[in-house]
Every structure is written in C-alpha cells, then in structure tokens.
C-alpha cells in the first residue's frame, strides 16, 4: 500500500511549537508516513522580531525549514497544524497561510483530508482548547476528517489534552510526556489516514 502523505504545517515565534512539530513529524515517520515538515511564512515586521531576542534566535535557527506551500496541502492525505495560542486564537501567520487555500477549496481538493492540531500557550488556562477548536472551524469548512488524540493512550492522562498536544511554556521546558503525546497524536492520525487510503484503493 502507498504510504500516507502527511504534512506538518506550523508557525512558531520562539521555538516551542517548532519543537512540538518536530516530535509530531518524528511520530508520523515512525508510523510509516512520508512526511513534509513545513513552517508558514513569517509576516511580522523585522523590528518586532528584532525586539525579542528569543524570536530573533528562533528565526535564525529555523532558517533551514522549508516554507509551506499550497502544494503541500494538496499533496497531503493528512495534515497536522501547529500554532502558538494568540489571545486564545490561531496565530495570524498560520491563519494567513490557510486563507490562501481558497483555490484548492474551490476545486474540492481539501475534502476528506485527515486533520489534527497542536498548540502551546504561556499559561494553563490561556486558551489552548479555544485555539485548537478555532482551527477546527477551518477543518469543518474543508470537509476534513478531524482526528483528535482523545484519551487513546496512557500518556493522554498525564498531559491531559484530548483536543491536541499542547504545552504550557510558563511551566518550563517541553518534557518527555508532551513529546510522547505529540508522537502518539501523529501515529493516530497516520493510522486513521492509512485506513481511509487503503479503503479508497480497494473501492
Ligand atoms: C501576541 C501574543 C498573544 C498571546 N496570547 C496568549 C494567550 O492568549 N494565552 C496564553 O497562555 N499565552 C499567550 N501567548 C504566549 C504564547 O502562546 C506562548 O508563549 C507560546 O507557547 C509561544 O510559542 P512559540 O515558542 O512556538 O512561539 C501570547 C503571545 C503573544 C506574543
């Protein structure tokens, strides 16, 4: 059977979501998917980036990650989107990329993709779930098949977010449980996308 084509499309200012995205990509690869790890284009002005040393540093450190293109969306059987929480919502950089997908939507090329999301916020009640649910609005419009992690693995009871992998930056660096949750979410997405792809090949 053809492997699942999986795109990890994310935005990160200071590297947290980037670290989650790499764990997601690793989990998907281990589950047998062909993976494209893609950051979306930065839209903030250089002076805003330069005023924040962590942002400036991450911009340099992630220079080698390819930028997401609409072809990555069209190619993918499954997409995992990552965004930091911004006032309880999706980062504008990721939203701007998603908003370029109108032509694919018009051609019916966004339907039936398996979609899932992950995030990070500064505080525990700072809007992780509202951010992931806000991304889900897009998935509904696409006719996507939303695959959340739920409580489908013991690690979910330790990290506690059934909506999607998430990290609280105010609580410290990303630990092994969160990385494991990211890999689990990716594996689950690959498994579901693989079953759907196999079913389509047969029918
Ligand atoms: C403009 C802005 C808005 C933010 N809004 C929230 C928020 O609503 N809740 C929260 O807990 N953290 C908020 N944060 C903090 C980020 O979500 C948090 O630092 C995130 O984990 C950074 O991810 P990154 O390192 O991948 O850029 C905000 C940060 C910025 C710059």
The range of the structural domain enclosing residue 107 comes to 5-202
User: Rounded to the nearest whole angstrom, what is the distance from the C-alpha of residue 138 to the centroid of ligand 1?
Assistant: 21
Question: Residues of the chain with pLDDT > 70: what percent?
Answer: 100
121 CB near ligand 1 (under 6 Å): yes
pLDDT tens column, 9-63: 999 999 999 999 999 999 999 999 999 999 999 999 999 999 999 999 999 999 9
95 CB near ligand 1 (under 6 Å): no
User: Rounded to the nearest whole angstrom, what is the distance from the C-alpha of residue 147 to the centroid of ligand 1?
Assistant: 24
pLDDT on residue 203 = 61
Q: What is the pTM of this model?
A: 0.98
54 CB near ligand 1 (under 6 Å): no
Atom of ligand 1 minimally distant from the CA of 124: 11
Query: Residue 79 maps to which CATH number?
Result: 3.40.50.360
Question: Residues of the chain with pLDDT > 90: what percent?
Answer: 98
CA distance 157 to 44: 36
Residue to probe by mutation, ligand 1, list 87, 127, 130, most atoms within 8 Å of CB: 87
Atom of ligand 1 minimally distant from the CA of 15: 25
CA distance 62 to 19: 11
127 CB near ligand 1 (under 6 Å): yes
User: Rounded to the nearest whole angstrom, what is the distance from the C-alpha of residue 181 to the centroid of ligand 1?
Assistant: 20
Core vs surface per residue 186-198: b (16+ CB within 10 A) or e: bbbbbbbbbebbe
pLDDT tens column, 123-137: 999 999 999 999 999
What band does 202 get if pLDDT is binned at 50, 70 and 90? confident
Q: What is the mean pLDDT of residues 79-89?
A: 98
Structural domains of the chain, count = 1
């Amino acid at each position: 059977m053809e492997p699942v084509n999986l795109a990890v499309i994310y935005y990160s200012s200071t590297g947290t979501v980037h670290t989650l995205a790499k764990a997601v990509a690793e989990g998907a690869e281990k589950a047998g998917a062909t993976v494209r790890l893609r950051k979306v284009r930065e839209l903030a002005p250089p002076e805003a980036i330069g005023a924040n040393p962590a942002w400036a540093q991450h911009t340099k450190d992630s220079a080698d990650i390819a930028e997401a293109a609409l072809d990555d969306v069209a190619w993918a059987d499954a997409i995992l989107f990552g965004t930091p929480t911004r006032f309880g919502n999706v980062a504008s950089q990721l939203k701007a990329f998603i908003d370029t997908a109108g032509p694919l939507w018009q051609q019916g090329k966004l339907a039936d993709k398996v979609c899932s999301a992950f995030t990070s916020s500064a505080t525990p009640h700072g809007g992780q779930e509202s951010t992931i649910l806000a991304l889900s609005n897009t998935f509904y419009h696409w006719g996507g098949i939303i695959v959340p992690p739920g409580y489908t693995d013991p690690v979910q009871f330790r990290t506690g977010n059934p909506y999607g992998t998430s990290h609280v930056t105010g609580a410290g660096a990303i630990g092994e449980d969160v990385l494991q949750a990211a890999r689990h979410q990716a594996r689950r997405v690959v498994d579901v996308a693989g079953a759907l792809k196999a079913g389509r090949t047969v029918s």
